[in-house]
Amino acid sequence: MSARETLELLKAALAMAVVDGKISGHERALLKALAAKAGVGDASLTAMIDLAGNEPARHDDLFASAIKEPEKAMQLLVASANLDGHISDEERNLLVDISFALGISSQRFGEIFQSGMAAAKRVVRSKRLKDDNPSP
């Protein structure tokens, strides 16, 4: 994925992270990782988070550019939405809107949704294992 595509994915993940009014530690870690891949510094990421959180109407703007791999992006967004262990109604509605905007059918979205949920569970389980068994 190119830096530009990663930046677009970062913006989409950011909108997903702030839609429920709070950013979990897992969501913040994902945003930081995507920001690093896109070449976005900590100060810029903080400004982006503040702007997205203060102006919910801008969420649609965050998805304005097309992503070349919409299904992969959608799976990552579903996984990032579920990293805090719950997908709120607002997050679910936003995911549906994003999938529609990306041209993903509702049937395919259902499949991607299940795959993203499973991916989030694997990430959380892996993190718990690492936390329970820190390296010396």
Distance from C-alpha of 64 to C-alpha of 125, rounded to nearest angstrom: 33
**Res 66: pLDDT:** 44
Cα dihedral 85→108→59→1 (10° resolution)? 90
Domain encompassing residue 102: 3-132
Among residues 56, 49, 69, 55, the alpha carbon closest in space to that of 9 is found at 69
DSSP annotation of 6? H
Cα(first)–Cα(last) distance of the chain, in Å? 34
- What average pLDDT does range 28-45 have in this prediction? 87
Q: Domain count for the chain, please give it.
A: 1
Cβ partners under 8 Å of residue 42, min gap 6? 32, 35
Among residues 11, 2, 4, 3, the alpha carbon closest in space to that of 76 is found at 11
Q: Could you read off the pLDDT of 9-20 as tens digits, one per residue?
A: 788 788 778 777
The CATH number assigned to the domain holding 87 equals: 1.10.3680
Percent of the chain at pLDDT > 90 equals 13
Q: Could you read off the pLDDT of 65-98 as tens digits, one per residue?
A: 546 678 888 888 888 788 777 888 888 888 888 8
